Structure 1
């Protein structure tokens, strides 16, 4: 405890001297809490693993990780010091509407359990807002946690290539040690690749450290054949780097080389890229987004009461008629109604608007990448209405857009735009 207080004192001294907040002022236990949140959002359904893991055991581990994260966050923030956050405020409203819609038990008692899980998830994030100071501290926690997850995927690929590239998934990479699906692996790889590239452009990490993260993650992303993650990575990086072009020579060089390399790849490897992109699917299957469109049409055509239209049927497993919805907006509409859809839209619009109002910086670029990626992925992936990696990505974006807390005796900074975290 004394060590923590001394660290905070040093941080305040640096801030008074004009050095700004230091990432060293964040207790190490905060990184552990963030890692536990990542573990909780890995889910319990996926591919068959080398050693069969009962789903009940996986759920026990993931839920235990969330309980431990909340408990540790309470320990490190025992005085319950939190900072205002528009993101978490709207997310809390979404939680309230989810509880109301789940109370009628139309989706069973599992809906109330999911509400309890979302409550712990949001509560833990509120406790962590004390250290949301607009720095890159949580970006490093994010990269480390998901790189560790990808490390388990790579280990499974080495130990049992057959289990990691099963015919059931068309030879796409899955988690052989922990049940992870190709879209999950692709998402984790794309996110940390994008963040690592931005840190490299901002000279926050050296080329060797960046290569250690980017190269193996890119290989895993390619093996998953995940189109959504690839498009999210490319478009998200384009927007993020575009926000740095006017102030960063490194961003301008990277953007120029990226455009040239893309043009060469489009001409010289058009056939290979098309084959990878289609994944052996027919035009009909591709046009229906691997069957997703049929589920979406059935969901929208299903009769609903007025209550179900506005509040939904309660938190479920993001499926309809036994098939995955695979669209965040339709999943939210099904489970949390038009109220939920409105609140999720407010989250995206507010975070995006605040990011645009911030002056150009590396932190702003990272936030733009995360917001853009989540918005793009929301079309073919569910997760914006419940505890998920996507809400964790957006929480990271909110922490990057936060205004550093004012210290006693220091002049308050102006013209920073509205505070969101």
Structure 2
């Protein structure tokens, strides 16, 4: 946006010399610096409060107070920078708003306790903040950069915990996988953050929107942390998402074609020369039965689907909960939405992915479109073994960034011409008529 503002030359130069009397100059709306702060607060809210034991024990109530307070602060700050409540039409945020309907309807009877209404309030504040931020969704890369920076800070805290206390960062309880030792983060969370910022940074390099040195400073440590988490879903999401995103650029970008060719060559060499270590990393020491049951997830899924439900529970679910069934995590976005928001919620979440994916496919090839395709495909892949598409979560933030990339350029706001300038223009016009 700022580059577009500075391309036209100084006031009174060639771009304004031919301006007709009474004509108005126009400028696009520029996102204030506080928007990045709001985005960081939203990310803090979605970090969660459950995870491994930290070096300094943090009470869960304190963590919940910090995360919920960050959401209230994000909404308040977004409202402060958008006092006129200017929003942009967004099918993504509109569908999220509709998702509040089955969430509230299934939670008001208190069958899931007061916690369900609390989570509905959290989701409402989350969606309201996205509406307020939608004013600056203009198809640019502003929110992509905010996304990378904020999650890089989160990964920095994970790396710091690994340096300070390797034993606490890679406990035996998680099979030696990397966890958050300063803030309670699980291996899938860390793997997700690392995979997302790695994919987005690779695409920024291909689009020549960042330098190789800056990209390496993000990609290399992120890949190391991803490898230490042994997170298969994040790895597959990164590889498949990048393949689809780069594939959308192949016809229009020589850099994308070169990167794709080198990636295929490196993958072939790695598969041949390091097949056994890669297989061992992928299996994580699990037996064939444990692996085929998706680490026990399939048993929880079967029990959830077999549980009896009323017609109301089929349509609107059981109310927003902690994404668990029978005390065990569901770890599937579709089944979690079905359990908590019913078939209505499943239809709305599917509509979100279909709408975003359809818009991305209809757009001409561009870096913004490639980043959106990566984020959408990553969330679709991760939804099979991770929950979060039906509630305030990092996955909805990823999709929000995709929606900002797919938005049409924002309409320019008129700059009113001062009255004194209009008088001078009229006087000059009269003098030219007299002479």
TM range (shorter): over 0.9
Residues 168-200 of structure 1 deviation map (CA, whole Å, 9 limit, x = unaligned): 000000000000000000000000000000000
Residues 126-176 of structure 1 deviation map (CA, whole Å, 9 limit, x = unaligned): 000110000000000000000000000000000000000000000000000
Q: 2: CA distance between counterparts of 1:234 and 1:271?
A: 19
Q: 2: CA distance between counterparts of 1:346 and 1:280?
A: 38
Residues 34-64 of structure 1 deviation map (CA, whole Å, 9 limit, x = unaligned): 0000000000000000000000000000000
**Partner residue in 2 for 1:229:** 234
Question: Of 148, 167, 179, which aligns to 2:172?
Answer: 167
Q: 1: CA distance between counterparts of 2:413 and 2:332?
A: 46
Question: Of 313, 325, 329, which aligns to 1:324?
Answer: 329
| Aligned 8 A contact 2:331 2:385 in 1 | yes
Q: CA RMSD in A?
A: 2.0
Matched, 1:263 2:245: no
**Partner residue in 2 for 1:396:** 401
| Aligned 8 A contact 1:199 1:362 in 2 | yes
Question: Of 179, 187, 195, which aligns to 1:182?
Answer: 187
Q: CA deviation at 1:406?
A: 2.3
Using the size of structure 1 for normalisation, the TM-score is 0.92
**Partner residue in 1 for 2:256:** 251
**Partner residue in 1 for 2:19:** none
Residues 195-241 of structure 1 deviation map (CA, whole Å, 9 limit, x = unaligned): 00000000000000000000000000000000000000000000000
Q: 1: CA distance between counterparts of 2:107 and 2:397?
A: 23
Rate the CA distance shift 1:400–1:126 in 2: closer, same or farther, 3 A.
same
SS in 1 for 2:410: coil
Q: 2: CA distance between counterparts of 1:400 and 1:286?
A: 37
SS in 2 for 1:79: coil
Residues 273-321 of structure 1 deviation map (CA, whole Å, 9 limit, x = unaligned): 0000000000000000000000000000001111101100000000000
Q: 1: CA distance between counterparts of 2:5 and 2:195?
A: 36
Question: Of 327, 341, 364, which aligns to 2:369?
Answer: 364
Question: Of 333, 336, 348, which aligns to 2:338?
Answer: 333
**Partner residue in 1 for 2:278:** 273
SS in 2 for 1:211: helix
Residues 312-348 of structure 1 deviation map (CA, whole Å, 9 limit, x = unaligned): 0000000000000000000000000000000000000
Q: 1: CA distance between counterparts of 2:65 and 2:223?
A: 31
| Aligned 8 A contact 1:11 1:21 in 2 | no
In structure 2, the gaps of 5 or more residues are: 16-25, 416-435
| Aligned 8 A contact 1:348 1:375 in 2 | yes
Matched, 1:145 2:150: yes
> How many pairs does the alignment contain?
400
Q: 1: CA distance between counterparts of 2:37 and 2:262?
A: 37
**Partner residue in 1 for 2:60:** 55
Once the two structures are superposed, the pairs formed by residues 24-35 of structure 1 within 5 Å of their partners are 25-35=30-40
Once the two structures are superposed, the pairs formed by residues 10-409 of structure 1 within 5 Å of their partners are 25-407=30-412
| Aligned 8 A contact 2:136 2:410 in 1 | no
Q: 1: CA distance between counterparts of 2:211 and 2:5?
A: 27
Q: CA deviation at 1:95?
A: 1.1
Q: CA deviation at 1:250?
A: 0.3
Larger radius of gyration: 2
